[in-house]
Amino acid sequence: MADCIVCGLADCKEMVSHGDISTFNCKRCGKYEISSSLYAALKYDKNKLPHTASAWIREQNSINGKPPVLMSDDFEMLQTITDKTISSKFERFMKEILVQYEKVNDTVILDLNIKPSWISITWVKNDGELKSIIEEGFRQGFIEGEIPTIGMYEGTNPYRWRAHIRTVTFQGREYIESLKNIGGHSNKIFMAFHFTDEMKESFEVTAKRAVTDASGGKLEAVRVSTSGTPTDTKIDDELIAMLKASKVVIADFTGQRQAVYYEAGYAMGMGIPVIWTCRADHVQDLSFDTRQYPHILWEDEEDLYKQLTDRLTARYI
């Protein structure tokens, strides 16, 4: 057992090592694989990684169903992962508390000494921020029980409070359902990409084919129009309306079109899933803000078709 090199939590288990790569399992971060060079760099770096690194690792486990592999090239990325908004953290808390409540069908005891992963699941900086989120859930009437109480622990436990959530109220469930319903019943999948002739022929045609084939024709890939739009309608208005009505957004960063960053960010803010893609020979140009997300890196049209079809089938259809 050792302290986690990412979050500093004690009792991090080293599960297995293969050559230069070691696998760890942290109660807060979840599983991750890390190279010996990055491990050494983090160990001797005076600056601790931000809480977002731990949250990102746990999210990668959830998205991909396997631990992320951290190499020396990821050093800067881990230090600069963008934090979530407080409203996004609140949404994550409410979704997770309902999941936990339905598992036991009884009171959920939220105790960070037993389950420190609450911190990474909700992307909070510390237990104080999580405590304020829980209190907001009580204030809005979304949950009922015993609010977090300081001083319930004595001795050496690092966290001094716990909360008892007896139920998720009707209002709380309604709130969670409202998050799921954004684009949830849509048959549209929005494509964001660089509108060059080359990309229209390679990416757009291929993405449309993948969406149609993966869904058996039930879903349609669409994009904002660059021509033929009524003169009294702004492209921005059309764009936002289409994003809000989309089930999923496929965002391709080949060519580094700045609007794609905006469209992907807007979708994430709305809680709409984003599939990140980029042609392999352009991956070195990706912004640090998006490198933290798992991209489909494609070599040619058939490679894109296969990977996109597999991703859509596995998660969204």
Same-domain pairing of 266 and 193: yes
Same domain? For 145 and 240 the reply is: no
Q: Provide the pairing of β-strand 21-26 with 30-35.
A: antiparallel
Q: Are residues 120 and 236 in the same domain?
A: no
Q: Please report whether residue 5 resides in a domain.
A: no
Note whether 306 and 221 are same-domain residues: yes
Residue 132 in any domain: the answer is yes
pLDDT digits (tens, 9 = 90+) for 114-160: 899 999 999 999 999 999 999 999 999 999 998 877 654 444 566 77
Does 165 map to a domain?
A: yes
Domain boundaries, position 146: 86-180
Is pLDDT above 70 for 314?
Answer: yes
User: Are 192 and 251 within one domain?
Assistant: yes
Looking at the fold, whether 136 and 201 belong to one and the same domain comes out as no
Does residue 151 sit in the same domain as residue 214?
no
Same structural domain, 174 and 200: no
Please state whether beta strands 220-222 and 161-168 pair in parallel, antiparallel, or not at all (unpaired). Answer: unpaired
From CA 27, how far away is CA 49, in angstroms rounded? 17
CB-based burial label for 177 (10 Å; 0-12, 13-18, 19+): exposed
Q: Is residue 6 part of a domain?
A: no
Q: Could you tell me if 120 and 28 lie in one domain?
A: no
pLDDT, mean of residues 211-233: 72
Instruction: Say if CB 110 and CB 131 are below 8 A apart.
Output: no
The structural domain count of the chain equals 3
Residues 175 and 98 reside in one and the same domain: yes
Closest CA to 263 of 211, 317, 189, 175: 189
**Residue 219 predicted with pLDDT over 50:** yes
- The pLDDT score that the predictor gives to residue 292 is 75
Does the pLDDT of residue 211 top 80, yes or no? yes
In the predicted model, is pLDDT for residue 229 greater than 50?
Answer: no
Return phi, psi of residue 252, to 5°: -110, 130
Say if residues 305 and 210 touch (Cβ distance below 8 Å): yes
Q: Give pLDDT tens digits for 167-201.
A: 999 999 999 887 765 555 678 999 999 989 999 99
Which pLDDT score, from 0 to 100, does residue 39 have? 93
Domain boundary among 48, 79, 110: 79
Same domain, 253 and 209: yes
Give the whole-angstrom CA distance, residue 18 versus residue 12. Answer: 18
Asked if 7 and 28 touch (Cβ cutoff 8 Å), the reply is yes
Task: Tell whether 304 and 228 lie within a shared domain.
Answer: yes
Average per-residue pLDDT for the chain: 86
